[in-house]
Amino acid sequence: MCLTKLGAAFVRSAAYERRFLAKNPWDFSMVVWIPLMTVLIIWWIFSQTQITDLPIGVMDQDSGPIANTAVRYLEASPTLTVRQLYYSDTEAKAAILQRDVYAIVVIPENFSRNILSGRSAPLVLQVNAQYGTHSGIIQTSVQAVAATLSAGVKIERLVKKGMAPAQAAIAYSPIKIQRISLFNEATNYQQFLASTVIPALLHILAMVIGATTIGRELRDKKLGHWYRFINKGHPNLMMTNKITKETMPVLEADKTENHQDFRNKNNVPSQVTGHVSVSILLFGLLGKYFWPTLAFSIWAVLALWLATPQESIAISSLVATYLGLILLMMLSFWLGAIFTLASFSLRMGLSSTAFISAPSYAFAGVTFPYIAISSSAQHWSDALPLTHYLKLHVAQLQMQAPATVSLPIVYGLTIAVIVAMSLTALLTKRALAHPERWGAR
């Protein structure tokens, strides 16, 4: 097959798609505005990089000096804020149910007296564990306050017995934890969640675009028209623009033009006769997905730029991550097309893409540990392309691992894209041979 002919098929297909996007604002928005707004909105949602001032309530049933100190310590914690003091269980429960507060700290009666007399005096924490992140932070912060208060009371008691303050501190807690955070030291939720959620959402949008771009040709019974258009010699673009006022761009500059226009206007599927070239189809599909690929390449740059505003990332890591994200987007396009072509239905294609892409973030091991899920769920996770890209993303941008660590993922995504492209071309050839199945919604 002559490269010139293949290149011409690519250019004609890209021109065909450009004219369609120019005349269909919704499809254009799916490629341009919706992904852009998705990236910016997600980043804005996580613009406050750390969780602070989680509202809690306090029921002080003691009102002693140590109880008052405990309330001050809770208010001084950077992750907590004492929203209100409550005086009845009913009032406190109503506040939790209405989400005015996420936890209630109960200081029981005789709290100060029990501490001063050397008896146990627990703080009671009632936390809304339905919100895992909130409850985890609140429990850690309240525990830290309790430990600080206990240490102060114990050290003060030892000092009164004549022990030096330094010795008293050692005697109270001879074993301490020296905690070293290797990655994301500031517990930056923008880095932890936003930078990984954005590729997941772009993955979903890319699969939807992949399904609709080829699916609308099946739905509108224009797949044969599209193939003849990309397989013609040199199209008359002015004539094509006139035709698109009523139908999809189809160029028939031969003696059958009038007959073909009649078929187009009456929405009759036109069968492609003769040999169908897989190479022409492949380059035509590349042209058809050229504009979405170009647009998502720009959104990938934006996403990576937002993910590394203050990080010193090696160029090799950035390149590996960018290539991985572009390959993920391309694979998403082709997978969406495969599901649609395999079922001969745009509706089934969109349903399949939603079934696979929408929950894929939950299986990726970012928010829930990969090693903690069942073996069958692990197999499903390994089959999802997003899982492998996010491994690359986290390793390169957050853990700053050497780029060579993630190269196998880049190679694997490359192979997957080539296989998906080839399979899409073969399924398109099969679809061209069955015009009676076109038109499914």
Which pair of structure tokens corresponds to residue 109? Answer: 């009666």
Q: What is the pLDDT of residue 166?
A: 66
207-243 pLDDT, tens digit per residue, is 999 999 999 999 999 999 999 999 874 444 444 444 4
Selected residue with higher pLDDT from 178 and 12: 12
Which pair of structure tokens corresponds to residue 106? Answer: 């109960």
Phi first, then psi, for residue 131 (nearest 5°) are -100, 100
Q: What is the pLDDT of residue 241?
A: 42
72-98 pLDDT, tens digit per residue, is 989 988 889 999 899 888 898 899 999
Q: What is the pLDDT of residue 112?
A: 82
pLDDT of residue 155 exceeding 80: no
Average pLDDT over residues 171-175: 61
Q: Which helix (H) or strand (E) holds 352?
A: helix 346-357
* Residue closest to 44 by CA, chosen among 187, 184, 188, 190: 190
Alpha carbons within 13 A on the beta-carbon side of 390: 28
The Cα–Cα gap between 218 and 438 comes to 5
pLDDT of residue 255 exceeding 70: no
Q: What is the pLDDT of residue 48?
A: 77
The Cα–Cα gap between 163 and 348 comes to 76
Q: What is the pLDDT of residue 182?
A: 67
142 class by beta-carbon count within 10 Å (0-12 exposed, 13-18 middle, 19+ buried): buried
Q: What is the pLDDT of residue 325?
A: 96
Mean pLDDT score across all residues of the chain: 83
The Cα–Cα gap between 161 and 328 comes to 67
Report the range out of 186-190, 372-376, 429-433 with the highest average pLDDT. Answer: 429-433
Average pLDDT over residues 28-50: 90
Lowest mean pLDDT among 54-58, 154-158, 436-440: 154-158
Q: What percent of the chain has pLDDT over 90?
A: 45
pLDDT of residue 399 exceeding 90: no
The Cα–Cα gap between 211 and 334 comes to 8
- Read off the pTM: 0.81
Lookup result for tokens 């197999």: 379
Q: How confident is the model at residue 393 (pLDDT cuts 50, 70, 90)?
A: very high
324-358 pLDDT, tens digit per residue, is 999 999 999 999 999 999 999 999 999 999 999 98
Q: What is the pLDDT of residue 279?
A: 92
In this structure, the strands spanning 124-127 and 103-107 are antiparallel
Average pLDDT over residues 296-305: 94
pLDDT of residue 385 exceeding 90: yes
Selected residue with higher pLDDT from 257 and 435: 435
Average pLDDT over residues 126-137: 85
Lowest mean pLDDT among 24-33, 107-116, 256-265, 272-281: 256-265
Residues 6+ apart with CB under 8 A from 441: 219, 345, 346, 347
Selected residue with higher pLDDT from 118 and 249: 118
Which pair of structure tokens corresponds to residue 179? Answer: 């905690």
Selected residue with higher pLDDT from 269 and 328: 328
pLDDT of residue 265 exceeding 70: no
Lowest mean pLDDT among 17-21, 88-92, 263-267, 334-338: 263-267
